[in-house]
C-alpha cells in the first residue's frame, strides 16, 4: 500500500497542486477557482466514493469534515462545483476575489453593489491554502487507516488515476520515459 500512497501523493502534490498554484500565480483567477473545485471533488471521491463517481454528498462531507468548519459544504458544492465549473457563473453565495486576504470569508455589506450585498468574499489565495491544509489532513488520515487505503486502492482499480505516464510523458534520448512536469526537468531535450 505504500506504493499506492506514493502514487497518489505524486499526482496530487506534483501534478494537481502545482497546476493550481501556477494558474493562481499567473492571475488566472476564475480558472484557478474551477481547478480548486475539481480538486475538492477528486479528494471527496477518494475519501467517500470508493468505486463510483463522486457525488453531492461526498463533496459536502469532504468540505464539512476537512475544512475545519470554515465553509458550508452545500454552499461550496452549489456555487463553486456546480455553478462555476458547469455554468461559469456563481450560485448566489460568494464573490470570487484574489489578492484581498483580509476580506476572505467576510460578508459584503456594500449597498452600492446590491447584487452582491450579503455575499461572502472568497479570496483565492486563502482558499487555496485551506485546500492544501484539507489535503494534508486527508493524506495524514490515509497513511494511518487501513480502511482508507483499501478504499483508495478500490477507487484507483475501478476508476483509475492520472499518472506520470498517462500525461506529459515523452521518450528521452536514452529511450526512457520521463515526465518533465513530475520529474522536475523541464529543460530536457526530447
Q: Total structural domains in the chain?
A: 2
| Domain identity same for 177 and 88 | no
In a domain, 98, yes or no: no
Residue 120 and residue 22: Cα distance in Å, rounded? 25
User: 3-state SS string over 158-180?
Assistant: HHCCCCCCCCCCEECCCCCEECH
| Domain identity same for 8 and 28 | yes
Provide φ and ψ at 168, rounded to 5°: 75, 10
| Domain identity same for 138 and 182 | no
* C-alpha separations of 183 from 11, 12, 23, 35, 97 in Å: 12, 14, 20, 22, 33
| Domain identity same for 189 and 132 | no
Residue 174 lies in domain: 165-190
pLDDT tens for residues 48-95?
987 777 789 999 999 999 999 999 999 999 999 999 999 888 878 999
| Domain identity same for 181 and 139 | no
45 φ/ψ sector (left φ>0, alpha ψ -120 to 50, else beta): alpha
Confirm if 163 and 11 have CB atoms less than 8 A apart: yes
Model-level pTM greater than 0.85? no
Residue 12 and residue 5: Cα distance in Å, rounded? 10
| Domain identity same for 73 and 154 | yes
| β-pairing verdict for 120-123 and 94-97 | parallel
pLDDT tens for residues 107-139?
988 766 656 678 899 999 999 999 999 999 999
| Domain identity same for 42 and 64 | yes
Amino acid at each position: 500500500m505504500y506504493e499506492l500512497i506514493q502514487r497518489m501523493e505524486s499526482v496530487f502534490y506534483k501534478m494537481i497542486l502545482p497546476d493550481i498554484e501556477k494558474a493562481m500565480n499567473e492571475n488566472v483567477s476564475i480558472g484557478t477557482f474551477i481547478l480548486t473545485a475539481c480538486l475538492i471533488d477528486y479528494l471527496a471521491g477518494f475519501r467517500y466514493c470508493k468505486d463510483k463517481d463522486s457525488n453531492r454528498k461526498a463533496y459536502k462531507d469532504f468540505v464539512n469534515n476537512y475544512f475545519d468548519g470554515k465553509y458550508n459544504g452545500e454552499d461550496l458544492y452549489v456555487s463553486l462545483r456546480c455553478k462555476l465549473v458547469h455554468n461559469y457563473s456563481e450560485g448566489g453565495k460568494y464573490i470570487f476575489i484574489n489578492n484581498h486576504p483580509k476580506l476572505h470569508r467576510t460578508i459584503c455589506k456594500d449597498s452600492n453593489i446590491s447584487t452582491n450585498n450579503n455575499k461572502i468574499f472568497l479570496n483565492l489565495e486563502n482558499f487555496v491554502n485551506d485546500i492544501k491544509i484539507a489535503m494534508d489532513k486527508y493524506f495524514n488520515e490515509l497513511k494511518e487507516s487501513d480502511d482508507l487505503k483499501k478504499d483508495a486502492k478500490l477507487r484507483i482499480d475501478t476508476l483509475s488515476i492520472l499518472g506520470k505516464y498517462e500525461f506529459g510523458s515523452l521518450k528521452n534520448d536514452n529511450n526512457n520515459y520521463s515526465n518533465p512536469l513530475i520529474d522536475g526537468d523541464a529543460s530536457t531535450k526530447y
